[in-house]
Structure 1
Amino acid sequence: MKAVVFQGPEEPMTVEEVDRPDCDDDGIVVETEACGVCRSDWHAWKGDWSWIGLMMTPGLVFGHEPCGTVVEVGDEVENVREGDRITAPFNMSDGTCRHCMSGRANICKRSVPMGFLPFQSGAYAEEFPVRVADQNAIAVPDGLDAVDVAGLGCRFATAFHGIAHRVSVDPGDTVAVHGCGGVGLSAIMTANALGGRVIAIDLDDRSLEMAEELGAEETVNVSEVKDVPQSVKAFTPNSRGVEVSVDALGIAETCRNSVNSLCKGGQHLQIGLTTSEEEGEVSLPVDTMVYDEREFYGSYGMPPHEYDEIFSMMEAGTINPGKIVSETISLEDVPDMVASMGEYDTVGIPVCTEF
C-alpha cells in the first residue's frame, strides 16, 4: 500500500509502497477515507518533543486524525465489525489504568500516540491499524461526512475537551483565544457554542476573519497593538480581564499573554505545545497568579466517551468542524503541506482525502 514515510528531522518525507498493517488480536485494520493534516506532524517532522521523551525515528508513518472503514478485525474484538465506519483518538489508551477507569482515558498511563511510534503507525496511508479496538475505535454515526470527522482530529477534540470539560465557560463569559490556527479556531467554535463571548487574537487578518465567521465577537491583531493583554482586557467590563483565556499556539509570548489577559479568578487553558525555542518551559507571572487566584489548565486530546457529545452537537448543527476545513489534498501533497506549516500560511485544517 502507499504511505507517507518520515525520513528524519526536516528531511523531505516520501510517498512509498509499504507493507499493509498487521491486525493484532485485540485490534482492527481500517481503510482510510480521510485524515487531517496537523501541526503536531510538523512538530514531529522538525524533531521537537525530545524533552518529553518522544524521539521520531525514520520509517514512521505519521497521521493521527483519521476516519475510515474497517476491513479486518482481530479475534478478540467484540464491538467492532468489518464495514463499520470509525475514527480513533490520536492518543490511544488501554482501558485498564486508573485514569481510563475514572473517565480520563486521554491521559492513560500507557497512552500510545498514533503515528509517532513504530508499533502504532498512522493514517497517512491507504490503511491504518487501531490497537485495543474495543477501547479506541469510535463508531461514526450515519450521515456524518468523513472530511468533517477527520476535521475533529486532535485539534478540535483537544479544544473541545479543554473548553467543555477542563475549564468552565458559562453563557456570557468572555473567552480569549490566542492563536487562530486549527486548534484555536476549534476553541472559538466550541466556546461560541457554549455561549461564550469570544475575543480572537492573531497576527494574520485572514485567520481573524475566519475567527469572526466562527463566532468571535472581537479581534486583536497583535502586529497592530503594543500590549496584547491590555488590548484584550479593553473588550471586557471595566477592563477587568476575561474569565477564560486559551493559548492555542504554544510559544512563550502567547502563553504569557493569555495568562495576563485573565481577570481575578480567571482560568488559563493551555492547548498549544511548545517548540524547540521553549523546549517545554515558559516563565509565568507566578505571584500575580497566586494573589489573583488565576488557574492554569492543560488539555490533551479527548477521552473516547466524549465523542458522543461532539457527534450529537454536530447532528444538531450546534458545531460544524467541517467549517474549519480549508482544503482537501492527496497523499502526494502531504509532505509539502506538513513542511509548510512552520510558515503559518495555512488557514484552517487541511484534510487528505485521496489515497
Structure 2
Amino acid sequence: MRALVFETFGGPLTVQEVPAPDPAPGGVVLRVGATGVCRSDWHAWQGHDPDVVLPHVPGHELAGTVAAVGAGVRRWRAGDRVTVPFVNACGRCAQCAAGEHQVCDRQTQPGFAHWGSMAQYVALDAADVNLVALPAGLDDATAAALGCRVATAFRAVVQVARVRPGEWVAVHGCGGVGLSAVQVALAAGARVVAVDVSPAARALAADLGAEHALDGPAAIPELTGGGAHVSLDAAGAVAACEDSVRCLRPRGRHVQVGLLPPAQGRPAVPMDLVVARELQVLGSHGMAAHAYPELLGLVAAGRLRPQALVTRELGLDEAGAALAAVGRAPGVAVVTRF
C-alpha cells in the first residue's frame, strides 16, 4: 500500500510503498476513505510521543470501509462504513467496564502506538468495542474529523465541562479542536469568546458564531461580565493553559484539551487563583465509541456542522507538506485521495 512515512523524528515525510496490514484477532483492517491532518500527528512526527517507533506512519482521525475482519469480530463485516475514536479501548479493563473507554488502561492509538491512517489501509484493534457505524448521508471527509477534533471537543464541552445555556465559554486556540469547541458550545446554548493570534482563525471562529474573536485574553473578564464560566485550552500551549485558568470567574471550570508535551515546557498553573476562586481544573481525552450517537444526532439535525471546518481536501502526496505546516492555515485539512 501507499503510506506517508517518516524514518527520523522531524525528518523527511515521504510517500512510500509499504506492506499492508493484516487484521489482528478481534480487529479489522479499514480501507481509508479520509484522514485528517492534526496537530497531534505533528507531535508524533516531532518525537513528543514515547509510543512512536520508527519508521512510522502517522494519522489517527479517519473514516473508511472495513476491508478485512479478524477472528472473533462479531459486529462488523467487510463493506461496513465506519469511523473510530483515536483511543482504541481494550474493552476488558476496569476503566472500560465503567464505560470510560477514553482512558482505557490498555489503550492503543493508530498513528501513535502503531501505524496510522495516512495510508491506503489501517489496522484497528478491538473492533466490536471501538468502531462507529457511519450514517449513509455522512461523507468520509466530514466523518474523519469526528474521531479526534469534533468528538474531543464534544466531550470536553458537554460531558466534562457540562456547559449550560447562557454560560460564557472561552476557547483558547482556534485550530480544529478549538473551532469544533466553538460549534459545540454554541449548540449547547453558550456564548463564546474565541482567542487566537491568527486573524484568519479568528475570522473563521466568528463565522461559526463566536460572539467575540480576540487576539489575546485580556478583555475576557470585561466582555463576559466577570470572566468565563468555562475556559478551554484547545491549543496545547503553555501560555494558553495559563491564560485559560486566569480568565475564569469564581467557581469557573478550566478544561485542558490540547496536548502539553513536556518538551515544550510546563505551564505555571496559578494555583493561588484556583484556591481563591474555587476553580475546577479538568482534563479531557477524546471520547468513547459508545458516546457517539448523541454527537451524530446533532450532526444529522444540522446543529453541528463539522463539514464547515474542512477547508482543504488533499491527496496523500500533499500530506507531508500539510503535516509540516500544521497550524499555519485555519480550518482542517483532510486527505481524501490515496
Residue 295 in structure 1 maps to residue 290 in structure 2: no
**SS in structure 1 of the partner of residue 148 of structure 2:** helix
CA distance in 2, matches of 1:278, 1:9: 15
Is this contact kept in 2: 1:47–1:55, CA < 8 A? no
1:262 equivalent in structure 2 = 248
How far the C-alpha of 1:94 sits from its partner, in A, is 0.6
2:215 to 210, 221, 224: 221
1:112 to 92, 95, 108: 108
Instruction: After superposition, give the CA deviation of every residue in 1:120-160 in whole Å (9 maximum; x if it has no partner).
Output: 32111111111111011111111111111012231111111
Is this contact kept in 2: 1:7–1:14, CA < 8 A? no
CA distance in 2, matches of 1:278, 1:327: 28
CA distance in 2, matches of 1:17, 1:134: 30
Residue 251 in structure 1 maps to residue 210 in structure 2: no
How far the C-alpha of 1:29 sits from its partner, in A, is 1.0
CA distance in 1, matches of 2:71, 2:149: 32
Residue 307 in structure 1 maps to residue 287 in structure 2: no
CA distance in 1, matches of 2:330, 2:264: 24
Q: How does 1:139-150 map to 2 (within 5 A)?
A: 139-150=133-144
Q: Which residue identity lines up with residue 37 of structure 1 in the other structure? A: V
User: Runs of 5+ in structure 1 lacking a partner?
Assistant: 223-227
How far the C-alpha of 1:275 sits from its partner, in A, is 4.2
Is this contact kept in 2: 1:86–1:139, CA < 8 A? yes
CA distance in 2, matches of 1:85, 1:168: 31
1:225 equivalent in structure 2 = none
CA distance in 1, matches of 2:238, 2:59: 27
1:47 equivalent in structure 2 = 47
Q: Which residue identity lines up with residue 233 of structure 1 in the other structure? A: P
Instruction: After superposition, give the CA deviation of every residue in 1:76-98 in whole Å (9 maximum; x if it has no partner).
Output: 10000111001111111011111
CA distance in 1, matches of 2:54, 2:95: 32
Residue 164 in structure 1 maps to residue 149 in structure 2: no
Q: 1:73 to 1:277 in 2, by over 3 A?
A: closer
Is this contact kept in 2: 1:27–1:73, CA < 8 A? yes
Identical positions, percent? 40
How far the C-alpha of 1:57 sits from its partner, in A, is 2.5
Instruction: After superposition, give the CA deviation of every residue in 1:173-224 in whole Å (9 maximum; x if it has no partner).
Output: 00000111111101100000000000011111110110011120112112xx
How far the C-alpha of 1:326 sits from its partner, in A, is 1.2
CA distance in 1, matches of 2:195, 2:214: 5
Residue 233 in structure 1 maps to residue 229 in structure 2: no
Q: Which residue identity lines up with residue 236 of structure 1 in the other structure? A: T
User: Runs of 5+ in structure 2 lacking a partner?
Assistant: none
Total equivalences in the alignment: 338
Q: Which residue identity lines up with residue 94 of structure 2 in the other structure? A: R
Q: How does 1:1-355 map to 2 (within 5 A)?
A: 1-49=1-49, 54-117=50-113, 120-222=114-216, 228=217, 230-237=218-225, 240-275=226-261, 277-279=263-265, 281-341=266-326, 344-355=327-338
CA RMSD after TM alignment: 1.2
How far the C-alpha of 1:286 sits from its partner, in A, is 0.6
CA distance in 2, matches of 1:60, 1:325: 25
Q: Which residue identity lines up with residue 177 of structure 2 in the other structure? A: V
Instruction: After superposition, give the CA deviation of every residue in 1:50-79 in whole Å (9 maximum; x if it has no partner).
Output: xxxx14322211110111111111221000
CA distance in 1, matches of 2:323, 2:262: 17
TM-score under structure 2 length normalisation: 0.97
